[in-house]
Amino acid sequence: MPYDFGLSVLFVPNKNHSPPLDSLPDFRNLGVTLRILLLGNLGGFAAALIESRDAAHFLQQLAERGAVLEPVLLLSLVSLYVLSKWLAPLRYAWGIAIVMLLEMVWTALVLNASAVPGDVPTPYGIVRACMLAVLLTACIIAYFFMRTRAYSPALADARLQALQARIRPHFLFNSINAVLSLIRSEPKRAEEALEDLAELFRALMQDNRRLSTLADELALCRQYLNLEQLRLGKRLHVDWDIAAMPGDALVPQLLLQPLVENAIYHGIEPGMEAGTVRIRIARDKNQVRLLLANPYYPDYQHRAGNRMALANIRERLALHFDVEASLEAQVAGDKFEISIVLPYRRQK
């Protein structure tokens, strides 16, 4: 195919919406929640296995730990979700400290509540359980930290690839030549084209670790399309279906513009006749759905760098939204379609 483009912890984006390294995982994300539950239960399983003498003792240990572990996990996930608004402005270290404290409080309360009459936990037993909860929480936070480090190179790669694509001689020279051809006949339009070119390069020079709004991403796409329209003229048609688009939805920067460029590069330039790029963006309950379609030419081998671009976008979606976001590319008849689904998040 020519296209390829604590027992619980909380992520709340900082004011710059910069996800990597200095942020806790996004507790609102289903994938993060499932990972926390899995890792927490694995920790309890390992503890029971280590302390058991035989199979019967192992099952007993597992049941005893589960009676405390499961309520602590569920209470922690719910309470951290409720507290997300107040945790958002805090520094990473303070966020970790509050999560640790919360785990100790829930562990002590559940341990006392689950004790049978006549078997009240000793102070040592409570302190020991709290320390184990803190240790398990630290392991889970470390896991998410290392996972973020594994994905973070995609952010730098995205910016580098975008810059390399934009600085391609054919794009820059064609844009400048198009402006030069308009200076005398349509000076106002030439001025607007230069402004679009300047804004495009300015956006590409920004830190793309930040999340952007769909409205800003769409504005960047329009500026790019204005430049391509000068070059391609009537050969390029754009079908906008964005009446139901949530403009305040947060998305990774440089999400749409590279896809629009690929649509033109692979779907419009090869054709001798006019072609249409269709862009549809709409909110579906708690999700945002994006569809981009362009003409498909199976014999056109103009594919350099496209697989890498799509793979990079997938990695950035996974970094910001985990399993709640997806990107799929397919050939549908004489069209090539890219479909993106991501959760509806907006700045609070």
Domain count, the chain: 2
* pLDDT of 116 over the 90 cut: no
pLDDT interval class at 215 (50, 70, 90): very high
- Tell me, yes or no, whether 42 lies in a domain: yes
Pair 161, 134 in one domain: no
- Tell me, yes or no, whether 49 lies in a domain: yes
pLDDT interval class at 312 (50, 70, 90): confident
pLDDT recorded at residue 338: 94
Alpha helix (H) ranges present in the chain?
30-51, 55-82, 84-87, 92-113, 123-151, 153-166, 169-182, 187-204, 214-232, 257-267, 306-321
Does this model's pTM top 0.85? My answer is: no
| One-character DSSP codes across 272-297 | SS-EEEEEEEEEETTEEEEEEEEE--
- Tell me, yes or no, whether 348 lies in a domain: no
* Domain closes at, from 151, 167, 191: 151
Q: What is the DSSP letter of 256?
A: S
Beta carbons within 8 Å of 185's beta carbon, 6+ residues apart: none
* pLDDT of 58 over the 50 cut: yes
Pair 210, 227 in one domain: yes
Beta carbons within 8 Å of 60's beta carbon, 6+ residues apart: 52
- Tell me, yes or no, whether 19 lies in a domain: no
pLDDT interval class at 296 (50, 70, 90): confident
Would you say the C-alpha torsion 322, 323, 324, 330 has a positive or negative sign? positive
Pair 267, 288 in one domain: yes
Q: Residue 245 belongs to a domain with what CATH number?
A: 3.30.565.10
pLDDT recorded at residue 54: 85
Pair 75, 211 in one domain: no
**Which residue segment(s) compose the domain that 114 sits in?**
30-151
Do 347 and 215 contact (CB within 8 A), yes or no?
no
Report how far apart, in Å, the C-alpha atoms of 178 and of each of 10, 29, 159, 164, 216 are. 50, 46, 26, 21, 25
Pair 300, 318 in one domain: yes
The tens digit of pLDDT for each residue in 153-165 reads 655 555 545 544 5
Residue whose entry in the numeric block shows the structure tokens 């991501």: 342
Pairing type for strands 275-284 and 236-241 reads: parallel
Name the more confident of 206 and 3.
206
* pLDDT of 2 over the 50 cut: no
- Tell me, yes or no, whether 338 lies in a domain: yes
Pair 174, 323 in one domain: yes
pLDDT recorded at residue 147: 80
* Domain closes at, from 134, 151, 168: 151
pLDDT recorded at residue 161: 53
Angle at 296 between CA 290 and CA 301, to 5 degrees: 120
* Listed range (145-154, 166-175, 327-336) with the worst mean pLDDT: 166-175
Average pLDDT over residues 240-266: 89
pLDDT recorded at residue 151: 67
pLDDT recorded at residue 262: 84
CA distance 220 to 204: 10
Closest residue by Cα to residue 35 from 11, 9, 17: 9
- Tell me, yes or no, whether 240 lies in a domain: yes
